[in-house]
Amino acid sequence: SEVYLLTQLVPDLKEIINQETENINMPDEKTSDARQTSLKYAFCVFIRAMSSHFTPLVLCLDDLQWADVSSLNTIELLVSDVQNKCSLMIIGCYRSNEVNGMHIFSASLASLSEM
């Protein structure tokens, strides 16, 4: 389940959720992309839940110039999540002197500015 995935990453989350988590055995043939998609979905559901309780929910992400592609894709997914009806603000910080037009963050920044 998605909750189980999140509690594996953040063990203290079990105390906040107050819900039994169980590992639903995923087939071994499940690809890495499918696992990553499941985790991104779980994270979106988690952010929706948190933003419904803590309004507005503000995430401050620092040093985005060092973020990997998967993390940048997750940020784009959160920003474009139309199912999140609550207040969510994402503040991203990066060192502009370390980001040029060829940097992976530049493409993500351009994509985010179009949303």
Among the listed residues 34, 108, 25, 31, the one whose alpha carbon sits nearest the alpha carbon of residue 74? 108
Q: What's the pLDDT score for residue 26? A: 54
Tokens linked to 16: 């906040």
pLDDT tens track of the chain, all 115 residues?
A: 677 778 887 888 777 766 565 555 555 556 778 878 888 888 888 888 888 888 889 999 999 999 999 899 999 999 998 888 888 899 999 998 998 888 888 889 888 888 8
The answer to whether 5 and 38 have CB atoms below 8 angstroms apart is yes
Per DSSP, the three-state class of 75 is: helix
The whole-number pLDDT of residue 25 equals 57
Asked if 12 and 19 touch (Cβ cutoff 8 Å), the reply is no
Q: What angle do CA 91, 107, 95 make, to 5 degrees?
A: 50
Contact (CB, 8 A) for 10 and 43? no
